[in-house]
Amino acid sequence: MLEQPMTVAPCEEQIRIDGHIVEQLSTVSAAEGHAVRVTIIQGGRSKNGYVYDEAALHQIAQLIEGAQAYADHARSNEDQINRSVRDVVGFYQDAAYVAQGGSGRVDATLHIFEAADWLWSIIKEACDLGRPELIGLSIDIFGQWQLNEANKTKEITSVIQLNSCDIVTRPSAGGSFRRILHHDSPENSTYQATSEGDYQHMTRTKNTIEEATQTEASAEPLQTQQQQIEQQRQEVERLLNEVNLQKASLLLERRLQESVLPEAARSQVRQRLQGRLFEEQELENEISSAQALLAQLSRDGLIRGHGHEKATIGGMVTEAEKVQAAFDAMFDLDIDTSKLGNIRGFVSIHEAYSRVTGDSSLRAGISSGSHLGPIQVAESAPIGRISEADTTTASFSYLLGTSMNKRLLKDYQAWPAEWQKFVTIAPIRDFKQQTRVRLGAFGSLPVVAEDTPYSAVTLTDSAATYVPQKRGNLVTISRETILNDDLQAIRQIPTKLAVAAAYTLAEFVYSFLSGNPVIYDTTNLFTAGAPHSNLGAAALSTTAMQSGITAMREQTNYAGKRLGLRPRYLVVPPELEWTSMVVTKSAGVPGSPNNDINPMLGYVTPIIAPQLSSSTQWFLIGDPREIDTIEIGFVGGQVNPSLFIQDQPILGLNFTQDAITYKIRHEYGGAVVDYRGIYRGI
């Protein structure tokens, strides 16, 4: 949206306020007119923290008179200025301020053009289906506000200009469709409210039944009359109870859909209240408790699974989903085009920030809730955009972080991890020492003579231990990076983090091979003779591999019995890649003048490991399904690295350096649990 030159001292920003349908309206044909009485905005505090007093509501009422109504918000500031005539669906008239308790509201009549019958049909059908929350209103204005540090609210002090009042799918500021306006004929003078209307109907039915019963009382025996009265009373009470349950159910669904709770939290609230009568305050308390829990989880910083992406209702796509998809496209992530259509990714980080926060100059800092110091005085506040739209409920930092996390996981999982073929991956609960016990083995079963007892034997064992460790880094995105619009730098962050995490883990695994560590029996992993007999002295060749295979075949258990192990993998550094291909894929013995058959053809699978520190070492390793080799344990079973965020305005680098901090964390440990499945050639 282009800024218009004006002499305004206080903070001027663009405000977007959303409303929603709360009643099931009466059935009206298109020929009777398309006029709907609506509430543009409710006074008091909105869900996005803006507070509207009576003076602000009066200003909005004056600006809304005669304003055009559009379908959906403009996609960009340029589109907002050059709105198409095809988007116009009606206009507002008879706007007025309505006193209501301590807050008040602004009402107006929305006239929908006959050309927009599709919209009229949506409104009617949504009401008929009992799903009025599927459509609502959103107002977009320029205004002034001042920040109240005490209660973290933005108090609207002046409303300057109306940009538009649009019909959208996700309202968020408490407005509502009041009723459909009819012709003055008596048959069109009423409307039908799902809950209250049914209740009144049932009450009238009850009175009618009682009157009819009294009329017939003289003609029937008194006892029969009393039985009939009691039956009719019970039936009416049952109907009234059903109506009240229906009313409670509709209230529950409406408030849950109005809330910003993710679907999992909504389901928990729904399970506690569904199918019984409850007070409205009890419902509000349940929603507030769920929001408080999610807020605490947000402050803890874990991005994945937070539910900041708003749930889709009835297959419709929310504005928040579209914005998140634009972030995903910016990081070259796959998008569900069958659901979202062709989403254009943000072409700059500055565009993404401005789209979400409305702060094109970053005067408010980086976090969408960033503010420092005491109350900001209106005279010193900048001109910018305030939006009550759907996307502002999820901050820029979380939208960016969610897409970065997706990109990180995609790149991490795409990184070659062939070490997984020969190790055992295990979930572990905590950072305590992990113990893997190797039981001994029985020898040959002895013959038991007649009338003699069986001999008792005992098993010896040994234990491999390791302690998992935490690895990670901090990455910051500064205010200067966004102002400089360095998109390429930000797009590289998740990829580089993914590569670092994958390479670090690979180095950890291969260090067991190249480092020859001391293992559970207090001996180095590889020894030329006893106790392990798994270290050769020859360079990689078919003959040397045959010697290694024989050594593995001769490995024994605790009882001295040969296991007959067969290696499955040949692990080599890049320097031996082509040698490994020759010795494992040649039909004849390489270098043999007699064209001897190569017995190593296809015998093992080569694995090239850049992390191996020696250019001459090579390894034969068994299949972990047949013999334990190396165990890698991940804390909490979290194999992938985790991405965290810190964007609180009073903590960390966001306070001292105007920077969002992202943290990558990877927690794992490991150990050699059995030497017999590993052989080193030199």
Per-residue pLDDT band for 188 (boundaries 50, 70, 90) equals very low
In a domain, 78, yes or no: yes
Q: pLDDT tens digit string along 336-382?
A: 887 777 788 888 877 787 777 665 555 444 444 333 233 333 333 33
> Per residue in 409-423, pLDDT tens?
898 888 889 999 999
Q: Please, are residues 43 and 103 in contact by the beta-carbon 8 Å criterion?
A: yes
Closest CA to 152 of 247, 45, 259: 45
In terms of pLDDT, which residue wins out, 130 or 662? 662
C-alpha 346/C-alpha 366 separation (Å) is 18
pLDDT of amino acid 420 = 94
Using the 3D structure, point to which of 372, 401, 430 is the last residue of a domain. 401
| CA distance linking residue 48 with residue 44, whole number of Å | 11
pLDDT, residue 567, reads 96
Give, rounded to a whole angstrom, the gap between the first and last alpha carbons of the chain: 69
Decide which of 401, 432, 463 is a domain's last residue: 401
DSSP SS3 for 619: strand
What long-range pairs does 253-258 form, CB within 8 A, spacing at least 24?
A: 253/130, 253/133, 254/20, 254/22, 254/132, 254/133, 255/283, 255/284, 255/287, 256/287, 257/20, 257/133, 257/313, 258/20, 258/133, 258/171, 258/172
Residue 556 or 305, more confident: 556
With respect to residue 650, please indicate whether it lies within any of the assigned structural domains: no
Q: Is the peptide bond before 649 cis (omega within 30 degrees of 0)?
A: no
Buried b (16+ CB within 10 A) or exposed e, 445-472: eeeeeeeeeeeeeeeeebebebebeebb
Report the pLDDT value the prediction gives residue 311, as an integer from 0 to 100: 40
pLDDT at 196 over 90: no
pLDDT at 274: 84
Give the residue numbers spanning the domain of 30.
12-189+355-401
Residue 73 CA to residue 367 CA, distance in Å, equals: 24
Q: Which residue has the tokens 């150990």?
A: 671
Which residues are within 8 A (CB) of 5 and not within 5 positions of it... i.e. 6 or more apart? none
- Please give the pLDDT value at position 210: 52
Does residue 546 share a domain with residue 397?
no
As a residue count, the chain comes to 682
Answer yes or no: is 366 within a domain. yes
Pairing of strands 567-572, 659-672: unpaired
Residue 678 pLDDT: 97
pLDDT tens column, 280-329: 888 888 888 887 777 666 555 443 433 334 444 445 566 677 888 888 98
Round the average pLDDT of the chain to a whole number and report it: 76
Collapse the DSSP code of 407 into the 3-class scheme (helix H, G, I; strand E, B; otherwise coil) and give the result.
Answer: helix
The answer as to whether 297 is a domain residue is no
Indicate if the alpha-carbon torsion angle 480, 483, 489, 490 is positive or negative: positive
CA atoms within 13 A on the CB side of 196: 7
Alpha carbon 452 to its chain's center:
69
Total structural domains in the chain? 2
Q: Classify residue 70 by burial, with Cβ atoms within 10 Å: 0-12, 13-18, 19+.
A: buried
What is the structure's pLDDT at 317? 63
- Contact status, residue 243 vs residue 204, Cβ threshold 8 Å: no
Domain assignment present for residue 392? The answer is yes
Q: Is residue 374 part of a domain?
A: yes
Closest to 111 (Cα-Cα) out of 64, 147, 158: 64
Which of 203, 459, 175, 497 is closest to 331 using CA atoms? 497
pLDDT above 70 as % of the chain:
72
Is the residue at 224 inside a domain? no
Question: Distance between CA atoms of 63 and 606, rounded to whole angstroms?
Answer: 74
- Identify the H or E element spanning 138: strand 136-148
Nearest to 438 by CA among 679, 674, 678, 676: 674
The DSSP-derived string for 9-22 is: -S-EEEEEEEB---
Q: What is the pLDDT of residue 300?
A: 52
Neighbours of 378 (CB within 10 A): 18
Global pTM exceeds 0.85: no
Whether 128 is in a domain gets the answer: yes
Q: 529-553 burial, b if ≥16 CB within 10 A, otherwise e?
A: eeebbbbbeeebbbebbeebbebbe
Q: Which residue has the higher pLDDT, 340 or 182?
A: 340
Per-residue model confidence (pLDDT) at position 654: 47
CA distances from 222 to 72, 216, 233, 599 (A): 65, 10, 16, 107
The better pLDDT of the pair 622, 124 is held by: 622
Beta bridge partners of 464: 436
What is the three-class DSSP state of 478?
strand
Beta-sheet strand order (sheet of 567-572)? 605-608, 567-572, 619-622, 678-680
pLDDT confidence band for 53 (50 / 70 / 90): confident
